[in-house]
Structure 1
Amino acid sequence: MTYIDAAGDAGIVAKLAAVPNFNADFLKFFPDVTSFDLLTLTFMVYIFVTWWQYAPGNGYFVQRLLATRSENDAFLAFLWYNICHYVVRSWPWIFVGLLSLHYLPQLDNPESAFPEMIDLFLPVGLKGIMVASLLAAFMSTLDTHLNWGASYLINDLYRPFIKPEANDQHYVFAGRLGILVLTLIFLLVSSQIDSILGAYKYLSVILGGLGTVMIARWYWWRVNAYSEIAALAASFVVGNAVELTLPSTDDAELYGVRVMITVAVVTVVWVMVTLLTSKTPGHQTITFYTTLKIGGAGWKKIRELSGIQPIGGTFKDSVIGWGVSMVFLFSSLLGLGQLIFGAWGAASMLLAVAVGSGIMLKTYIGKIRQLDF
């Protein structure tokens, strides 16, 4: 309804261009990279670096993958998740945000755009359902992470190292105290954050340094628990240090600089710790390899010890497969966006790239893991 109403006879782009103080750069998918500056670095960090912290996945993804019948189905399920999550679901958010420029041109606080659009377009019944669903999602996320954090504190720290001989009732009570402590910490941290974007930037600086070790553990047998603990500690210390010493100002956006410093320092730290701590492969390392049969030079020593050859292609094939999958997702995302804005030529070209990269992805995934599609 909002799409049809906003488009009218002139089209969405023309309607947006007529908005007071509208900047044509709002509709650009890429910044001007002819002159490299701090804003260009920020864009590059968003695209190429910040995703590292999410590279290992999490328990949600594991549950979904383990629920599939085979590795073949697991890959297809995860590919479908990425298409739905990044290509399809992103555009309603982006589109509503852009339309708020047309319907709410005098809005002072950009973060109130979505609530204002809900109030403007949804009828009373649907508006109540929307607000209830948002509150339910917020409470679900909050209690999940509080219980999750408390379980880490109790099962990984308090129980094994502080009070290992207590009964279950004691640990339940300690867990409740842990939730209370985490709640107070979260309230303290949130009181220091002025915006959602500020929270995202802070977390990506703090956690960005973890990405390299999380990726490397799949390709180098020497990466171990000490490597990850060192990366976690260093990322927290270095990330907070650069947040305090290199704050962004109206004249200089230093977010990209902070992320790159954190990543570089943390990588040096965990690599040094890895070289000092893991010199001979343990039983779990060999078991891990024999289960997954990972290729690449980083597992050469384990291959020689186990006598088991890897499944599928080389490390090079993995990198190419990853690159092709990124081209597929980004071209699909941007192609859909060009369709929405009526740029038929650009949309056709991007969607053609998406189809071609999808065919290449099928070929390379088959080489990497010998999957059959």
Structure 2
Amino acid sequence: MELSTLDYGFIIVFFTLVLGIGIYVSKKSGKSSTEFFLSGRTMPWWLLGLSMVATTFSTDTPNLVTDLVRTTGVSGNWGWWCFLLTGMLTVFVYAKLWRKSNVKTDLEFYELRYGGKPASFLRKFRAVYLGILFNVITMSAVTLAAIKIGGIMLGLDPIETVVGAGLITVVFSALGGFRGVVYTDFLLFFVAMAGAIGAAFYLVNIPEVGGLQAIIENDMVKSKMDILPDLSDTKMVITILVIPLAVQWWSSWYPGGEPGGGGYIAQRMLAAKDENHAIGATFFFNIMHYALRPWPWILVALASLVVYPDIASIAQAFPNVPADKLGHDLAYSAMLTKLPSGLLGVVLASLIAAYMSTISTQLNWGSSYLVFDFYKQQINPNATEKQMVAFGRVSTVVLMVLSAVLALAMQNAMDVFNLLLSFGAGTGLIFILRWFWWRINAWSEISAMFASGILSILIATTSLKSFLFDVETGIFPDWGELPFIMIVTTIIWVTATFVTQPESKEVLRSFYRKIQPGGPGWSKVVDEAKQDNEEIVDSNEKWSVPSGITAMLLGVVLIYSIMFATGYWIYGRTTSALILTAVAAVSGFFLIKAWGRMKENIL
């Protein structure tokens, strides 16, 4: 595919702006580790919210959505739509707790909540486990998508794409730190959204597709359009709807959708000016991420079924793509090749923006773990600020290289998504409860982490999966893999909790005094402190969890209503669209009232 001078112009201007921002903020970002990883904790909610949205708008996301739509229909997106419940819980319950903790990374929380050698081990191990293993896997999935886009749209070899896309990203990430990431995310968000919306509008109306009405009437597309799965298909309902909404959202740890908050979402909450800015940032992110952004990708995925009804048609149209990279996720890139000059440059710039935003965030976040939670704790306890910033920049480069190498060996983003879900299955409940139940200790988390990881590896790499979950001969239904891992992991960590000693009184009281979590789960600790004539409860602090859960439920209704109303307006189903729009308005009204009461409690 040939790019015009105009297309190259868009891309060159974009790269120049991004590098310019990185260089501009590099001096300030290099002043201290707090500046390099948290920008001095001075960020406003709107900038952090846009940064979260830009980060989750990665090159693999439209590919993943396309894969889901083409294989299981629009309803297949419940696999990630379900994490809205996690997001809303983070907004209205956990955002203020994270900001009050004042830690530099969410892993530092371990030595705030737990004590002794188990807490120290947990912090150091997860710094490597998440900062390197999970982080590299996630970045490699994003880079894999970039490889497929480069191969389809530009005819680039995988290595050419990896080197070209990765070099500029790692340079501005290493120079600009977190401030550079957030500032560039502001630009990347608008470029990425303009590209996604512009591409959807144009591609739906190309002659091969014939417009929105032609898509809706196409026999290949009709069965894929429903937002909810076919309720008469029990297996499909359980797999696509019941498990995500009943189990997956609270039980699985997944980057960007961590129960109780965590990862780069926690990093942005910790960088906020105060608790209200942390709440505002996460709420804004969830509205944009779920309510407004999916439909441009979904429309292109549906249109692709008209032009490329199967993988064979994609392979025929793009014979230069290696066989090990072929899949339904390629259809998104295949459709983008039909864009005209000018718009093509904008869309390519938007895809580059999506890639750079996600990778730069993952690099800075993963590097923060390695600096604060491993290097500072394990290698050089007396490290100066200059040394920590230098180590952060070196680790940024190393993480980029590792992810690029792994990406070259991967084939499908969906496989990575499922692997990460199973790796974290059963651990999510701990991340939700550890703030509000005193009895959870470091051994609870250690046992859950190893149990879910070992079970996932055993099931993925041995005949155990066929024995347990084979369609015809397995002990359990083939959709039971995630619930199985979750149940076994939960049994293991709950058992470990009660057979090991609780955290010391000093640790528990110190945590309560700082965070003021409240609730019946801490009544034993509060009562024992009173008996010892020690007051750990702040009388000015009100327990906001009940009102937070109310706000969470209203937020879930609001955002799902907006998202599905948008879909029904597009489909031309006016009655359903009107009803959902009304539901959104009512839930939004009550949410404003609930949020107002919460802000009074915080202030």
| TM-score (norm: length of structure 2) | 0.52
Cα distance, 1:346 vs structure 2:
0.5
1:115 corresponds to 2:115: no
Deviates more, 1:354-363 or 1:172-181: 172-181
The residue type paired with residue 31 of structure 1 is P
Distance in structure 2 (CA, Å) of the matches to 1:156 and 1:255 = 39
1:331 corresponds to 2:566: no
Deviates more, 1:228-237 or 1:255-264: 255-264
Partner of 1:208, secondary structure, is: coil
Cα distance, 1:183 vs structure 2:
5.4
1:234 is aligned, of 442, 451, 457, to 451
Cα distance, 1:194 vs structure 2:
3.6
* Compared CA separation, residues 102 and 34, structure 1 to 2 (3 A): closer
Aligned-residue Cα RMSD (Å) equals 4.2
1:90 corresponds to 2:90: no
The residue type paired with residue 486 of structure 2 is V
Confirm or deny: 8 A CA contact 2:517 2:543 kept in the other structure: no
1:36 corresponds to 2:234: yes
1:15 is aligned, of 214, 222, 229, to 214
Distance in structure 2 (CA, Å) of the matches to 1:71 and 1:175 = 29
Cα distance, 1:325 vs structure 2:
1.9
Confirm or deny: 8 A CA contact 1:206 1:239 kept in the other structure: yes
Partner of 1:265, secondary structure, is: helix
Partner of 1:197, secondary structure, is: helix
Distance in structure 2 (CA, Å) of the matches to 1:104 and 1:15 = 15
Q: Give the structure 2 partner of residue 346 of structure 1.
A: 576
Distance in structure 2 (CA, Å) of the matches to 1:49 and 1:218 = 20
Confirm or deny: 8 A CA contact 1:338 1:346 kept in the other structure: yes
Distance in structure 1 (CA, Å) of the matches to 2:400 and 2:205 = 47
Larger relative contact order (C-alpha < 8 A, sep ≥ 6)? 2
Q: Give the structure 1 partner of residue 137 of structure 2.
A: none
1:220 corresponds to 2:220: no
User: Could you list the runs of 5+ residues in structure 2 that have no partner in the other structure?
Assistant: 1-197, 315-326, 530-535
Q: Give the structure 1 partner of residue 355 of structure 2.
A: 138
Distance in structure 2 (CA, Å) of the matches to 1:299 and 1:45 = 31
Distance in structure 1 (CA, Å) of the matches to 2:268 and 2:372 = 24
Cα distance, 1:236 vs structure 2:
0.6
1:288 is aligned, of 511, 515, 527, to 511
* Compared CA separation, residues 294 and 184, structure 1 to 2 (3 A): closer
The CA deviation string for residues 51-101 of structure 1, in whole angstroms up to 9 with x for no partner, is 332123335334543555543343233222211111111121112212222
Distance in structure 1 (CA, Å) of the matches to 2:496 and 2:484 = 19
Q: Give the structure 2 partner of residue 74 of structure 1.
A: 278
The residue type paired with residue 227 of structure 2 is F
The residue type paired with residue 561 of structure 2 is S
2:586 is aligned, of 345, 352, 356, to 356
* Compared CA separation, residues 122 and 371, structure 1 to 2 (3 A): farther
Confirm or deny: 8 A CA contact 2:448 2:490 kept in the other structure: yes
| TM-score (norm: length of structure 1) | 0.79
Q: Give the structure 2 partner of residue 57 of structure 1.
A: 261
Q: Give the structure 1 partner of residue 490 of structure 2.
A: 267
Confirm or deny: 8 A CA contact 1:228 1:270 kept in the other structure: yes
Deviates more, 1:219-228 or 1:330-339: 219-228
The residue type paired with residue 352 of structure 1 is A
The residue type paired with residue 246 of structure 1 is K
Deviates more, 1:307-316 or 1:331-340: 307-316
Cα distance, 1:318 vs structure 2:
4.0
Confirm or deny: 8 A CA contact 1:331 1:350 kept in the other structure: yes
2:426 is aligned, of 203, 209, 215, to 209
Cα distance, 1:111 vs structure 2:
1.3
* Compared CA separation, residues 110 and 311, structure 1 to 2 (3 A): same
Q: Percent identity?
A: 29
Partner of 1:31, secondary structure, is: coil
1:321 is aligned, of 551, 559, 571, to 551
- Residue correspondence of structure 1 range 96-107 to structure 2 within 5 A: 96-105=300-309, 107=313
Confirm or deny: 8 A CA contact 1:246 1:254 kept in the other structure: no
Confirm or deny: 8 A CA contact 1:224 1:274 kept in the other structure: yes
* Compared CA separation, residues 166 and 215, structure 1 to 2 (3 A): closer
Cα distance, 1:208 vs structure 2:
2.4
Confirm or deny: 8 A CA contact 1:97 1:114 kept in the other structure: yes
Distance in structure 2 (CA, Å) of the matches to 1:293 and 1:333 = 35
- Residue correspondence of structure 1 range 177-192 to structure 2 within 5 A: 187=405, 191=409
The residue type paired with residue 228 of structure 1 is E
Deviates more, 1:129-138 or 1:21-30: 129-138
The residue type paired with residue 223 of structure 2 is D
Distance in structure 2 (CA, Å) of the matches to 1:354 and 1:161 = 50
Distance in structure 2 (CA, Å) of the matches to 1:76 and 1:172 = 33
Deviates more, 1:250-259 or 1:206-215: 250-259
Distance in structure 2 (CA, Å) of the matches to 1:328 and 1:63 = 26
The residue type paired with residue 345 of structure 1 is T
Cα distance, 1:237 vs structure 2:
0.7
Confirm or deny: 8 A CA contact 1:72 1:371 kept in the other structure: no
User: Could you list the runs of 5+ residues in structure 1 that have no partner in the other structure?
Assistant: none
Cα distance, 1:150 vs structure 2:
6.3
Deviates more, 1:256-265 or 1:100-109: 100-109
Partner of 1:110, secondary structure, is: coil
Distance in structure 2 (CA, Å) of the matches to 1:362 and 1:134 = 35
Cα distance, 1:310 vs structure 2:
8.1
How many matched pairs? Answer: 369
* Compared CA separation, residues 184 and 303, structure 1 to 2 (3 A): same
Q: Give the structure 1 partner of residue 81 of structure 2.
A: none
Distance in structure 2 (CA, Å) of the matches to 1:301 and 1:278 = 15
Distance in structure 2 (CA, Å) of the matches to 1:293 and 1:238 = 36
Cα distance, 1:307 vs structure 2:
4.0
Cα distance, 1:372 vs structure 2:
8.7
